[in-house]
């Protein structure tokens, strides 16, 4: 079973790598880079924090990213220890700097879907554009050959769970209700 999943991961990445064009390369690099250290999500959450009506939403977004980072980047990645696909030869030059850490799960995707889950529950009017960008973020990580599809799928699941947990926990954090 594991061999079939690995074979599927590799086949899928080979297909995605055939989509490379200079214009799409630029777009995917920009999308992926915007997710480095959660920059895009902080850029959205900080203004929300500054508006009293949306303060809890912004703080919950940050809490969701923190939980997903602790679970994914600090815990699961080091337990699983999966080597990134860019360490293999997919016949393409790496378009971004080789990430320093392990591959599973995708941290960019996890953070994106943690925020998406918060938005779904707390500010649903923004759900569709945020979901679109989160999907694009996950795809960009595969396109750039730094994550396998199963890394991204795990990131979607982990982020969604962490975001949902943050939604239910944040109203009980005293600092969040100032």
Distance of CA 15 to the CA centre of its chain: 21
In a domain, 153, yes or no: yes
Q: What does the pLDDT look like over 20-42, one tens digit per residue?
A: 899 999 999 999 999 998 999 99
pLDDT band at 165 (very low <50, low <70, confident <90, very high): very high
Separation of alpha carbons 25 and 168, rounded Å: 38
pLDDT in the model for residue 26: 94
| H or E segment to which residue 161 belongs | helix 149-169
Mean pLDDT of the chain: 91
pTM: 0.91
Domain encompassing residue 32 = 22-177
Looking at the domain assignment, is residue 150 inside a domain?
Answer: yes
Share of the chain above pLDDT 70, in %: 95
Total count of domains within the chain = 1
**Tell me: the pLDDT tens digits for 87-118?**
776 556 777 777 778 889 999 999 999 999 99
Q: pLDDT class for 119, splitting at 50, 70, 90?
A: very high
Q: Is residue 2 part of a domain?
A: no
Q: DSSP labels for 23-78?
A: HHHHHHHHHHHHTGGGHHHHHHHHHHHHSGGGHHHHHHHHHHHHHHHIIIIIIIHH
Residue 155, domain member (yes or no): yes
In a domain, 83, yes or no: yes
Question: How does pLDDT run across 55-91, given as a tens digit for each residue?
Answer: 999 999 999 999 999 999 999 999 998 888 877 765 5
Report which of residues 49 and 93 the model is more confident about.
49
Any domain includes 12? no
Does any domain span residue 69?
Answer: yes
Would you say residue 5 lies in a domain?
no
């Amino acid at each position: 079973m594991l061999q079939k999943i690995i074979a599927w991961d590799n086949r899928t990445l080979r297909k995605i790598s055939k989509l490379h064009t200079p214009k799409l390369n630029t777009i995917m690099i920009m999308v992926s880079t915007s997710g480095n250290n959660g920059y895009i999500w902080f850029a959205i959450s900080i203004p929300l924090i500054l508006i009293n009506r949306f303060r809890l939403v912004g703080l919950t977004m940050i809490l969701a990213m923190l939980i997903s980072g602790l679970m994914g980047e600090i815990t699961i990645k080091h337990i699983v220890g999966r080597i990134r696909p860019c360490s293999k030869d997919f016949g393409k030059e790496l378009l971004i700097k080789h990430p320093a850490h392990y591959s599973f799960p995708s941290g960019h995707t996890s953070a994106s879907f943690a925020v998406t889950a918060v938005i779904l529950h707390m500010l649903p009017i923004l759900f569709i554009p945020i979901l679109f960008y989160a999907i694009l973020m996950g795809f960009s990580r595969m396109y750039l050959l730094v994550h396998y599809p199963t890394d991204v799928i795990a990131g979607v699941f982990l982020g969604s769970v962490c975001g949902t947990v943050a939604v239910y926990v944040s109203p009980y954090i005293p600092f969040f209700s100032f």
